[in-house]
């Protein structure tokens, strides 16, 4: 899902982790991210699809309430905040043109998978990097861009240690 584009370097005398970097740029594949979010779809959402265009991400789908109601959410920016990412939701509409009032997001708040995402007013999803990185990796998010086909992410200074050895991996 992630591919490394470049890294920075520091003087060896200041290292505290097995591997450290000043900056890493990665890309997140939109098709794989779309497949990943399918596992976290909650009722009453029956269909969910992410589309990535340069500078705009669209979330399309349908909600089942007696009938299937198509919806679309536009995401114009993804805000990096250390180890968290905030995703403000814009242009939320049903049937292609009917605006959905933001207070209706409160209905979905309790149905979101808490281990992955939190809802915050006004109409913002908050993701923690801790959920997606192993515990032996430390990094901060500096910037997230919506690009054709996915996301480009700049991670700031960080580091990693070797994963803790287990009995199985040591052959014991």
Structural tokens at position 34: 């779309």
Asked whether residue 74 is assigned to any structural domain, the reply reads yes
Torsion of CA 27, 32, 35, 40, to 10 degrees: -40
Q: Measure Cα distances from 78 to 15, 42, 53, 151 in Å.
A: 31, 22, 14, 10
Average pLDDT over residues 152-158: 92
CB contact burial 27-60 (16+ within 10 A = b; e otherwise): bbbbeeebeeeeeeeeeeeeebebebeeeebebe
Asked whether residue 12 is assigned to any structural domain, the reply reads no
* Structural domain count of the chain: 1
Q: Is the pTM of this model over 0.85?
A: no
User: DSSP label at 164?
Assistant: P
The predicted structure's pLDDT at residue 116:
77
Asked whether residue 62 is assigned to any structural domain, the reply reads yes
Give the pLDDT confidence of 105-126 residue by residue, as tens digits.
Answer: 655 666 677 777 888 888 888 9
Average pLDDT over residues 33-52: 87
Asked whether residue 119 is assigned to any structural domain, the reply reads yes
C-beta separation of 130 from 64 below 8 A: no
């Amino acid at each position: 899902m992630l591919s490394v584009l470049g890294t920075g370097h520091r003087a060896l005398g200041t290292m505290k982790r097995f591997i450290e970097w000043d900056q890493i740029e990665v890309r997140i594949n939109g098709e794989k991210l779309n497949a990943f979010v399918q596992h976290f779809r909650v009722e009453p959402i029956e269909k969910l699809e992410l589309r990535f265009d340069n500078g705009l991400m669209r979330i399309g789908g349908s909600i089942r309430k007696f009938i299937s109601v198509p919806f679309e959410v536009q995401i114009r920016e993804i805000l990096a905040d250390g180890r968290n990412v905030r995703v403000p939701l814009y242009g939320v509409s049903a049937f292609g043109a009917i605006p959905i009032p933001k207070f209706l997001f409160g209905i979905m708040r309790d149905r979101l998978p808490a281990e992955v995402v939190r809802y915050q007013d006004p109409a913002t999803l908050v993701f923690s990097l801790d959920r997606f990185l192993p515990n032996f990796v430390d990094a901060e998010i500096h910037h997230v861009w919506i690009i054709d086909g996915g996301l480009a992410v700049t991670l700031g200074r960080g580091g990693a240690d070797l994963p803790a050895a287990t009995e199985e991996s040591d052959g014991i």
